[in-house]
């Protein structure tokens, strides 16, 4: 069995080499130190969600391109999915399917008062938000939307946006990102 840090190491090294970037170039682009990037590519560290998100945003690629192995067909079983945690453990991200045809699908589990923020994606990117369990405030720039179970929101995701659990229990949000450039 291959560990997540090994998959991340292999993928990041491959992506960086495909883009013909040095670790210095990647560090400047992502605001992640060269030392941390080196450790990630060696597979000697388990990076946080925030670090992986910065790398994905800086490279202008879906997070799933960093954390998944690409296969021709994929079944994802919940008990086989390893969540990525933020530093506070208030947010877990379950990336279900590696990015396919510019689509990225994942679940976000927000503990009570949990918040996940994004600085935005490429121009033309769209996000579909489906509330599976709970009550969530989605903020898109300065506009707020309150969503409850089985409600869906679609928005242009090239602007800053966030998800905040405003309910009294854990909530689960499915995100489908339609990205324009990979």
Percent of the chain with pLDDT over 70: 90
pLDDT higher than threshold 90 for residue 143? yes
Of 168 and 95, the structure prediction assigns the larger pLDDT to 168
pLDDT higher than threshold 90 for residue 137? yes
Of 61 and 75, the structure prediction assigns the larger pLDDT to 61
pLDDT tens digits along 6-48: 999 999 999 999 889 999 999 999 999 999 999 999 999 889 8
Residue ranges of the chain that CATH labels 1.10.260.40: 4-67
Please provide the average confidence, as pLDDT, over all residues in the chain: 87
Q: What mean pLDDT comes out for the span 112-126?
A: 87
Residue ranges of the chain that CATH labels 2.60.120.10: 78-178
Strand order in the sheet with 84-85: 84-85, 91-100, 103-110, 171-178, 126-133, 152-156
Of 101 and 51, the structure prediction assigns the larger pLDDT to 51
For position 100, what pLDDT does the model report? 60
pLDDT band, residue 98 (cuts 50/70/90): low
- Statement: 78-178 belongs to CATH 2.40.50.100: no
- Radius of gyration of the chain, Cα coordinates, nearest whole angstrom: 16
Residue 21, helix vs strand vs coil? coil
CATH number of 4-67: 1.10.260.40
């Amino acid at each position: 069995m291959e560990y997540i840090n090994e998959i991340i190491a292999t993928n990041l090294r491959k992506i960086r080499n495909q883009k013909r970037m040095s670790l210095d170039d990647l560090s400047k682009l992502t605001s992640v130190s060269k030392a941390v990037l080196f450790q990630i590519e060696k597979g000697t560290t388990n990076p946080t969600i925030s670090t992986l998100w910065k790398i994905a945003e800086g490279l202008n690629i879906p997070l799933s391109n960093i954390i998944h192995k690409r296969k021709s067909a994929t079944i994802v079983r919940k008990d086989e999915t390893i969540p990525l945690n933020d530093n506070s453990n208030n947010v877990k991200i379950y990336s279900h399917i590696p990015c396919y045809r510019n689509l990225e699908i994942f679940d976000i589990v927000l503990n009570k008062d949990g918040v996940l923020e994004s600085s935005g994606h490429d121009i033309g990117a769209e996000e579909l938000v489906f509330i599976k369990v709970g009550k969530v405030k989605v903020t898109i720039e300065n506009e707020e939307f309150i969503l409850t179970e089985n409600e869906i929101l679609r928005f242009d995701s090239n602007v800053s946006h966030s998800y905040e659990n405003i309910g009294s229990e854990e909530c689960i949000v499915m995100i489908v990102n339609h990205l324009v450039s990979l």
